[in-house]
Structure 1
């Protein structure tokens, strides 16, 4: 009888052990299921996608932080990354000018391609006098793609990204929606902060090195006076610089904004000419090394931009 009881206990332990093993294996299979692979072009697209995806996907940044994205071109390795991804997210055909060519050259049958600015009415591009005089520009008769700098339009980009991720991975739809709502809540708070601050401003004009802030200016009733056009590496002619010098003196401009990822030479020249100071105004085309070290993200940099803007408006 004792022997039978011992055998019964051993049998029950074995069954229990098998059950636990099967259960553990099932959990591992569930947790170890293939995550969505997302490739994004530059920092704002990466930030929005990362926030929406959460832990439900792997998100990769194609254009490294600290690299000026206007003139960046993908290598064969970058093209392979895009082809191997489940989802590819870019801002606009007017910003990542290489996307159409790349997408034509790869097999994108199983690739979900997302143009985040889709559905947003883009403004016509501002052309610098230098571009007009030479009669050509890669952005000529084009559109301004810098929509991510408006916290309101950024929410539309987030919605486009969330919708695409839901289609690519329906199992995590609820999670994507929840994450997108949380991010859009932060962007709505940022919009409120900008509006509340700028509504009290005494002045409504600011001078930038390149024409990246048109949507931000339009959103809050400001006027952007750019030194150059949409491309930050195009320097103004002497005539254009003379005209800007007279205009900024007349308007008593005290701050000229520049970007850390491009040369500040032109901004410094104009500032010296009119007795103004220079200040960083970040178009968020990539985080600088210092910003990364400080743990700043899109929201943090946009708040720093607002602080910088106050120097001109108050």
Structure 2
């Protein structure tokens, strides 16, 4: 059966298993990018999420089950991001040898402070959604995730340990440089508060001394309550906040509404969950998008 891949559609989920390489299936873009960087020519990395799709909303197809059953490694973020993973892993072929790794393991997770009343619906089983899953948005967490991937590659393919390690060290250095840029540029900014459309920047805020105020909660499609918008509007005016951030894969309607009410402007802050077609064509990646974020943060946080 031939699967035709349209040119220019980027890291899609129509990838094929390649014999003689470590086949790795990743759930969404940042994990795909890091897995490719560490795996190099020794790995065949298949990304499940197509370009421009929100990972909170996505569900796998039968071809994804077939590919993952034949792969050696399955990397998912965890921390409650991909709610479909437990069922998906149960659905794999019984003779599958794939090893699943939660790559955010070891990151100190942030418990969301969403309202208590939401937390007690359902006894405990939906507690997951009250952990902030957006670990990769901080370079400090991304370093832990990359190290987890290195260890997984070595466990799966010990004979190529040196090659994986040397590629990992290149990636680690890039992440350390990015981290240093965030530390240096943000530490002297007079403002420390950001207003964002969706609560995706908790790890970034924690690691670089910022406070995020979100219009919506952890899930980008939750509708805010009127009183939340009122409180936020008051905060923006009182603190003289000039910019409200929204993200590309999610509607900017609410951010624009809040901006027009308060006289603020809107700017993009990208949670790097995926690339748009445009960004793919431009050759953007995790690092270029994160540097754009830093530029926009500096604009918003100056006096």
Task: Give TM-score, length-normalised by structure 1.
Answer: 0.85
Q: Does the C-alpha gap of structure 1 residues 230 and 128 become closer, same or farther in structure 2, counting only changes over 3 Å?
A: farther
**Counterpart in the other structure of 2:105:** 118
**2:156 match:** 168
34, 39, 42: which one aligns with 2:25: 39
Matches within 5 A, 1:54-203: 54-106=40-92, 107=94, 109-127=96-114, 132=118, 142-203=130-191
Kindly tell me the number of residue pairs found equivalent between the two proteins: 282
Match for residue 295 of structure 1 among 283, 288, 293: 283
- Aligned partner of residue 38 in structure 1, secondary structure: strand
Q: Structure 1 segments of 4 or more deviating over 3 A? A: 131-141
* Structure 1 residue 78 displacement after superposition: 1.4
Name the CA distance, whole Å, in 1 between partners of 2:176 and 2:96: 36
Residues 289 and 141 (structure 1), Cα distance of their counterparts in 2 relative to 1, 3 Å cut: closer
| Counterpart-to-counterpart distance in 1, 2:145 and 2:286 | 14
Residues 195 and 220, structure 1, Cα contact 8 Å, conserved in 2: yes
Looking at structure 1, the residues matched to 82 and 171 of structure 2 have their Cα atoms a distance apart, in angstroms, of 24
Structure having the higher helix fraction is: 1
> 109-118 or 152-161, which moves further after superposition?
109-118
TM-superposed deviation, 1:126: 3.8
* Secondary structure, counterpart of 1:118 in structure 2: coil
Asked if 2 retains the 8 angstrom alpha-carbon contact of 1:44 and 1:148, the reply is yes
Task: Give, in whole Å, the separation in 1 of the partners of 2:255 and 2:206.
Answer: 23
> What SS does the corresponding residue of 1:224 show, helix, strand or coil?
strand
Match of 1:258 among 243, 246, 258: 246
Secondary structure of 2:245's counterpart equals strand
Deviations 1:78-122 (A, max 9, x none): 111211111100001500111111112223641111110112221
CA distance in 2, matches of 1:57, 1:292: 21
Unmatched 5+ residue regions in structure 2?
A: 1-17
CA 138–293 in structure 1, closer or farther in 2 if over 3 Å, else same: farther
Offset, 1:310: 1.0
Query: Do 1:66 and 1:289's aligned partners in 2 also have CA atoms closer than 8 Å?
Result: yes
- The change in CA–CA distance for 1:141 and 1:305 in structure 2 (over 3 A counts) is closer
Shift of 1:127: 2.1
Partner of 2:12: none
Structure 1 residue 171, shift from structure 2 partner:
1.6
Give distance in 2, aligned partners of 1:197 and 1:177.
30
Kept in 1, the 8 Å contact 2:114–2:130? The answer is no
Alpha-carbon spacing, 1:141–1:58, altered in 2? closer, same or farther (3 Å)? closer
Distance 1:267 1:185, change over 3 A: same
**What does residue range 202-217 of structure 1 map to in structure 2 within 5 Å?**
202-217=190-205
Q: Which residue in 2 is equivalent to 1:4? A: none
Structure 1 or 2, whichever has the larger Rg, is 1
- Report the secondary structure of 1:262's partner residue: coil
Choose the corresponding residue for 1:50, options 21, 36, 48: 36
Q: Secondary structure at the match of 1:235?
A: coil
Task: Return the alpha-carbon distance in structure 2 between the equivalents of residues 93 and 180 of structure 1.
Answer: 23
Q: Which deviates the most, 238-247 or 299-308? A: 238-247
What residue ranges of structure 1 are gaps of 5+ in the alignment? 1-31
- What root-mean-square deviation, in Å, do the aligned CA atoms of Structure 1 and Structure 2 show? 2.0
Tell me the equivalent position of 1:26.
none
Q: Contact 2:38–2:168 (CA<8 Å) still a contact in 1?
A: yes
- Aligned twin of 2:5: none
Question: By how many angstroms is 1:138 displaced?
Answer: 5.5
